[in-house]
Structure 1
Amino acid sequence: MQDSIRQLFTENIQTMIATGEALSAPIENAAVSLVNCLINGGKVICCGEGASSALASHFAQLLLDKFEAERPCLPAFALLSNNSSLQPDNQQNPDHLARQVRALGQAGDVLVAISMTGEEHNLIKAVEAALTKDMTVVALTVDNSGELSGLLGNQDTELKVPAHRPARVFECYTFLLHALCELIDITLFPQQGDL
């Protein structure tokens, strides 16, 4: 069993190294998009499906509250999942994320879409809604991430993790979101000192 444990750590480390090498420029672009949005009075809207919705909530809370150092609150929130509707499951609106983007998003805002497959219908519709509102999209995706990747334009940023195992992808997404928080903090609040 200890060999399996060591192999899990090795696989995680290799995924992180490959992601760091592949995504250093896109991570910088994503951080700049988020910083520019916040400086210009915009807000960060986060969404995901399934386990990714927990990451969206986590990222929004870190921006709204704090990451590691005390600092002013930043305008961010996660879109609501579809599990609190009064409608039965088979009658719920399949575009519930897009409806929220259309209602709450504005030009200059950033949509952070966290996708495990690139084929989640609700995320695709949310990205489409964001683009029609002249929002910028930062998408966390995986290789071969399908339709969602095809929607993104030059102003958008795709953080495409070079991994296929869902557990490794989720771990990497968590790190990427923490890295973005740190980059935002050191850019907007350098007076807060070393983190």
Structure 2
Amino acid sequence: MQDKIRQLFSENIQTMIATSEALAGPIEQAAFRIVSSLIEGGKVMCCGDGASASLAQHFAQLLLDQYETERPCLPAMALHQDHAALHASQGRNNDYYARQVKALGQKGDILLVISLSGNEQSLIKAVEAALTCDMSVVALTVEGADELSGLLNAQDTELRVPAHRHARVFECYAFLLHCVCELIELNLFPQQGEL
């Protein structure tokens, strides 16, 4: 059993190293895009399906409250899946995030999408809605996320994790979001970060 435990830690470490090598630039770009949006008065809207919805909520809360630095609140919100049951009966399946983006999103806002497969229709529709609102997208994706990735353009940032096991991807996503939070705080509140 202990050998299995060591193997799991090793797999996690290898995934983190591969991700740091592949995504250092895109992580910096994602943080820069979010910082730029916030400086210009924009907000960050976050969404994910299934387990990744909890990561979206976590990221929004870190921006609203704080990551490691005591600082003013930043405008962020997690979109909710609660509307799914209501809309399913009305023939509007999988558009619950898109409807929230259309209602609340504005030009210059950021949509942060967390996808474990790249093929979740609710997330694809949310990205399509964000693009029609002239919002930028930061997408956490995996290999094979071709449908979602294909929607992104030059103003968007994709953080594609080089892993295949959902557990390792999820762990990596949590770390990526913490990296982005730390970079946001360092850029917006450098003096607090030195305390």
TM-score by length of 2: 0.96
Q: Deviations over 1:57-115 (max 9, x none)?
A: 00000000000111000000000113674466695632111000000000000000000
Structure 1 counterpart of 2:168: 168
SS at match of 2:158: strand
Question: Which runs of 5 or more structure 1 residues have no equivalent in the other structure?
Answer: none
Deviates more, 1:64-73 or 1:92-101: 92-101
Separation in 1 of the partners of 2:124 and 2:54?
18
Runs of 4+ residues over 3 Å off in structure 1: 82-93
Question: Which runs of 5 or more structure 2 residues have no equivalent in the other structure?
Answer: none
Query: Are the aligned partners of 1:117 and 1:146 in contact in 2 as well (CA < 8 Å)?
Result: no
**Pairing of 1:140-151 with structure 2 (within 5 A):** 140-151=140-151
RMSD: 1.6
Q: Deviations over 1:156-190 (max 9, x none)?
A: 00000000100000000000000000000000000
Separation in 2 of the partners of 1:88 and 1:102?
18
Structure 1 residues 88, 101: CA separation in 2 closer, same or farther (over 3 Å shift)? closer
Structure 2 counterpart of 1:38: 38
Structure 1 residues 87, 142: CA separation in 2 closer, same or farther (over 3 Å shift)? closer
SS at match of 2:11: helix
SS at match of 1:46: strand
Structure 1 residues 66, 91: CA separation in 2 closer, same or farther (over 3 Å shift)? same
Give the deviation of 1:48 after TM superposition. Answer: 0.4
Separation in 1 of the partners of 2:3 and 2:115?
31
Paired AA for residue 157 in structure 1: T
Paired AA for residue 174 in structure 1: A
**Pairing of 1:1-195 with structure 2 (within 5 A):** 1-82=1-82, 85-86=85-86, 93-194=93-194
Query: Are the aligned partners of 1:85 and 1:92 in contact in 2 as well (CA < 8 Å)?
Result: no
Q: Deviations over 1:24-51 (max 9, x none)?
A: 0100110100000000000000000000
Structure 1 residues 51, 83: CA separation in 2 closer, same or farther (over 3 Å shift)? farther
Sequence identity percentage: 68
Structure 1 residues 88, 98: CA separation in 2 closer, same or farther (over 3 Å shift)? closer
